[in-house]
Amino acid sequence: MIESTSTYHRPVVHSLSGEFDPIIINKALAGSAKKKADKFDAGLLAYHGLTGIWEKSFIPSDIQHDLTMISRRLIKAKQGITRATNAIGSRLIDYNILLPREIKVYSSSGKSILQAIIEGVTNPVEAVKRAKYYASNLDIEERKEKYQRLIEALTVLPHLSEYARNVIGALMNEAKFYERQCLIYHNWLSDLLSNISITYKDGRVLTGIDIIDLIRTIPGVGSRYGEVFIAEAGIDVVKRFGNPLALEQFAGFDPSKTYSADKILSKKSRKGNKFIHTTTIEIAQGMLQHGKQDNPLAKWGRSYKQRMEGTTTAHKHAASGIGKRIIRITYHIIRTGKPYDGSRYNYNAHQTKTIKQLKNVATRANNIATEIHKSKVDDTTKAIATEAINALSSIAGIEGGFTLNSNITDLPVTELGFKTRTTNILLKANITNFSMLWFRLIQGKLLDIDGFGKKSYNEVIQVLVDTGYILKKKI
C-alpha cells in the first residue's frame, strides 16, 4: 500500500508488482487535512490496509502504459499546432493584415498565402494567386467575391517589415514541427493498437483497431475518441470496471450531490479522467450544434435543451447527458464486441419498471373504456368506465410533471377550450374526450400525432392547467 505522489510512486510499484498486489491511495484520502504528516499518513494507510477497506489497484500493462503516454503526447502536439496558428493569426491582426477574418490561416490556401508573405512578396494580388483554389474559376460569383476580399485583406502587405515576416516564419516552422510530431505519434499509436487485443467467450479476438472501428458505428463519433478511450481506460473495460456506472465515474460523468437537512445544495461532477471527459464533451457539443437530424443522440440532446428552455445551463446539461450515453454505449460495444445497434437504446426511457407496468395496465383500461363508450350501454356504465380510467391514469402519470384533478368530469375535446386547429388534429387522431387525451399525454405520445407540434403541445398543457383539469406537481 502506497500513497499516490504524481509519478514518484511508480518506480516502487514496478519494483514490487511481481511480489505484491499494490494498492495506490489518493493523497487526499491518505490522511487528515488538518494533520498532514508522513507519520500519521503511514499509520492510517497501515490501519486501513489491515481492515481491507481499499481494494488492490489497477496496474496497466507495459503496452497500455505506452498507449497512454503516446496518446497524451499526441494531444499535446495538437495543442501546439493550435497555439502556433493562433499566434500567427494574432500577429497578422497586429500588423493590420486581416487574413484570419477571411480564411483559416493554417488551411491549404492559408498556408500558401503565408508562405508568400514569409518569402517577401509585397504584391497582394501575387500573394493571393498562391492560393490556387481562390485564384481559379473566378467566373463563379462567390469565388470572385472571396478573391477580392482576400486582396483587400492584404493591402498593407507592402509595408510589412522584415522582422514581422521572420516572426510569422518562425511560428510557421513551429506549427510544422508539431504537425510532424502528430504524424509520428499517430503512427506509433496505430502500431500499439494493432498489438493490443481482447478475447471473447465465443473465441473471437479483436484488436484495438477493430474495437475503434466498432466504436465509430456510434452516430457522430470518430476514430480519435476510440483512440483516447482505449489509451486511458484500456481495452477490457468489463474486467477493469465491471459495470457501465463505474466507467461513467472514471470518465467524469458521475454527478455528486451535496446534501444538508435533506436539501440538495450543489451538484458537481467528479473530475474523473480529463482526457476522456474532454474528448467526449467536445463530441457532444458538436452533436448539439451540427449533428444530423437522424442522429438519435443529437435529437435527444436538442429535445432536452428545448424542454429546459434553451439556457446555457441546459446546453451544458444536454452535452453532459450525451457524453454519458456515449460512454455507456461504448462500454456495451466493447462488452459484446458488436457494432452499435440503435434499436437497443431508448434515449428517452427514464421510467422505472413499476411505472412502465402501471402505464401498460392503464393503457389496457383505456382501450376497454373506449370500447365501452362505443358500445350500446347506459350512461351509468360509461360513468364507471370514466372513473376507472381517471383513477388508473392518475397512477400512471405519477412520474410526470402534472397530476390529474380528481374532481373533474370527462368532457369532449370540443368543449375543453382548445383552438380550432388543435381540436381538429385531436379528433382526426381519434382523441374524442379528455380521458383519451390524458392518456396520450402521460404516455409521451402526444407529439407523435401528425401536425401536432411543440406549439400545440404547449397550448394543450396551458389550457388544461388554466381550466383545472391537471395540476402541477409541487416539488
pLDDT in tens, 196-245: 999 999 999 999 999 999 999 999 999 999 999 999 999 999 988 989 98
For residue 29, what is the DSSP state?
A: H
Total domain count, the chain:
4
Q: Which domain holds residue 417?
A: 353-472
Q: Is 186 domain-assigned?
A: no
Domain edge (last residue) among 344, 374, 403: 344
Are residue 257 and residue 237 in the same domain, yes or no? Answer: yes
Are residue 312 and residue 379 in the same domain, yes or no? Answer: no
Domain edge (last residue) among 43, 59, 75: 59
Q: Of 316, 311, 245, which Cα lies nearest the Cα of 284?
A: 316
> What number of CA atoms fall less than 13 Å from residue 21's CA on the CB side?
7
| Beta-bridge partner residues of 259 | 264
Q: Is 191 domain-assigned?
A: no
Three-state secondary structure call for residue 434: helix
Are residue 91 and residue 174 in the same domain, yes or no? Answer: yes
Are residue 431 and residue 401 in the same domain, yes or no? Answer: yes
Residue 398: predicted pLDDT: 39
Residue that wins the pLDDT comparison between 54 and 329: 329
Q: Is 187 domain-assigned?
A: no
For residue 136, what is the DSSP state?
A: S
Evaluate whether 362 touches 404 at the Cβ level (below 8 Å).
no
| Beta-bridge partner residues of 403 | 471
Q: Is 207 domain-assigned?
A: yes
Are residue 364 and residue 302 in the same domain, yes or no? Answer: no
Cα 72 from Cα 169, distance rounded (Å): 27
Cα 394 from Cα 409, distance rounded (Å): 14
**Average of per-residue pLDDT across 22-37:** 61
Are residue 78 and residue 46 in the same domain, yes or no? Answer: no
Q: Of 325, 300, 304, 326, which Cα lies nearest the Cα of 313?
A: 304
Q: Of 85, 304, 109, 105, which Cα lies nearest the Cα of 176?
A: 85
Are residue 257 and residue 124 in the same domain, yes or no? Answer: no
Say whether pLDDT at 397 is over 50: no
Q: Is 185 domain-assigned?
A: no
Q: Of 205, 215, 237, 203, which Cα lies nearest the Cα of 64?
A: 237
Which range (7-16, 102-111, 392-401) has the least confidence? 392-401
Q: Of 471, 379, 459, 475, which Cα lies nearest the Cα of 423?
A: 459
Q: Is 183 domain-assigned?
A: no
Residue 190: predicted pLDDT: 95
Q: Is 212 domain-assigned?
A: yes
- β 24-25/197-199 pair status: unpaired
Are residue 326 and residue 245 in the same domain, yes or no? Answer: yes
Q: Is 188 domain-assigned?
A: no
Q: Of 366, 363, 359, which Cα lies nearest the Cα of 432?
A: 366
